[in-house]
Structure 1
Amino acid sequence: MSPKPERTSATKQKLFDATLRLAGSRGMVGLTVDEIAAEAGVAKGTVYYNFGSKDGLIDALLRYGVDLLAARLRAAEAAVGPWDTVSDLIEGMLAFFAEYPTFAQLLVSELWRTPGQWQQTLSLLREQVTAIIRAQLQYLTDSGDLPEGVRVHTAAAALFGTVLVVALDWQVFDPEQTREEVRDSVLLLVRGLRGKV
């Protein structure tokens, strides 16, 4: 009998939250499965049964975190206008990174570190997120709302990287700003490149 999907999802969420709590205070390298399981309130055997090893757990949790982020970005696709969609994409990323600041730190520290233990997984996951952003920017390009010559692939990576770093900077150095103020600043920067304020 296989585990129920809702139980598996709840266990993944517990493990995800526990790993991020521990990584936020100690980093990823020294974490053990025992510590993660204890922090999550699950049996160590549950971790090994579902993930095989600590590396398997971390890999699955990275994928889970990006799936959560991608779900928020997909929700933005329901916005009415193209700039509303971009605003909602920025809002979704900022909200996610505010909720999971350690995940943002992990992305920054591991994604561009070469060679990194989870760099290959993170690169694939980065592609998943930037593909959602690219689709919306392509729509803006096709409707003439982005300057001619903007390379959508590069612009999507730039928007993702900008929001990721801005979210960390906001959390660490400027936490008195509201998320709306941060979002509006990023959106004004993006629109300002075309002269739309």
Structure 2
Amino acid sequence: MSRADTRMKVFGAAMELIAEQGYSATTVEAIAERAGVAKGTVFYNFGSKEALFGALLEFSIGRLAEALAEAAVGETAVEKLDAVVLGQLRFFEQYGPFARVLLAEMGRTAWLDAVTQLRARALGVYAGVMREAVAAGEVRADLDVETAATAVFGMVLTVSIERRVLHPERPIEDTHATLADLLHGRLR
């Protein structure tokens, strides 16, 4: 198995365990066991539990930002915003443990770099599309884009988790339609 494959197995195991029991309760031993690798392999690849979690956040935030950027397609900025919301819903549908980890663990000051990266990369997609909507006159000119981007991202994150846990049978398109209706009413 290549080093990249090993890292992905460890990332997957760490994400699942941290989502299930929290960062503090998750041990390197448990991560190694779930990944099917030796404890030393985790330390060899990451150095420490903290470095593993930092690398995991960096990797996951990068994938999220790429997914949001790829989703930002539409004829108007508001259509792009709707597409980004749907892209975030789909991303968290596929990577549910990451959504739970973001909600539970990102408030820690130890992960300030990850929060900064999340703000710049993932929320930056939302902010960019919203700036475009303001410039095109599609939304209120006085919109605080940075706050709105954070609010929309957080709303979609929370709704994604709730949908997975409480309403897994609800089609993602129905959830998206409700969120789009809320956004359209408030942004204009």
Same fold (TM over 0.5): yes
> Which residue identity is paired with 1:124?
T
- The partner residue of 2:185 within 179, 184, 192 is 192
Q: Which residue of 1 aligns with 2:167?
A: 174
Q: How has the CA–CA distance of structure 1 residues 107 and 155 changed in structure 2, closer, same or farther, with 3 Å as cutoff?
A: same
CA 121–31 in structure 1, closer or farther in 2 if over 3 Å, else same? same
CA spacing shift, 1:9–1:138, aligned 2, 3 Å: farther
Distance 1:32 1:7 in 2: 24
For structure 1, list consecutive stretches of 5 or more residues without a partner in the other structure: 1-5
Task: Check if 1:68 corresponds to 2:68.
Answer: no
- How many residues align? The count is 187
Which residue of the partner structure matches residue 158 of structure 2? 165
Structure 1 residue 63 displacement after superposition: 1.1
Q: Which of 114, 123, 126 is the equivalent residue of 1:122?
A: 114
Could you tell me whether the CA contact under 8 Å between 1:16 and 1:65 is conserved in 2? no
Deviating more after overlay: 23-32 vs 92-101: 23-32
CA distance in 2, matches of 1:57, 1:103: 14
**In the alignment, which residue of structure 2 is the partner of 1:43?**
38
Contact 1:97 1:104 in 2 (8 A): yes
2:133 alignment partner in structure 1: 140
Q: Distance in 2 between matches of 1:80 and 1:14?
A: 39
- For 1:37 and 1:194, locate their aligned partners in 2 and report how far apart those are by CA, in whole Å: 46
Equivalent residue number for residue 97 of structure 2 = 102
Indicate the RMSD between aligned Cα atoms, in angstroms. Answer: 2.0
C-alpha distance in 2 between matches for 1:91 and 1:23? 25
Residue 117 (structure 1) shift: 5.5
In structure 2, runs of 5+ residues without a counterpart are none
Q: 1:7: how far off?
A: 3.8
Contact 1:107–1:122 (8 Å) recurs in 2: no
The 2-side partners of 1:158 and 1:88 are apart by 16
Give the TM-score normalised by the residue count of structure 1.
0.85
Question: Which moves more between the two structures, 67-76 or 12-21?
Answer: 12-21
Q: Is the CA contact 2:81–2:129 (under 8 Å) kept in the aligned structure 1?
A: yes
How far is the alpha carbon of 1:120 from its aligned partner?
0.9
- Name the residue aligned to 1:16: 11
Aligned-partner Cα distance in 2 for 1:62–1:194: 30
- How much does 1:99 deviate? 1.9
The equivalent residue for 1:152 is 145
Give me the TM-score of the superposition, normalised by structure 2. 0.89
Describe the shift of the 1:140–1:14 C-alpha distance in structure 2 as closer, same or farther (beyond 3 A). Answer: same
Identical pairs, percent: 31
Would you identify which runs of 4 or more consecutive aligned residues in structure 1 move more than 6 Å? none
In the superposition, relative to structure 1, how do residues 63 and 194 fare at CA in structure 2: closer, same or farther (>3 Å)?
closer
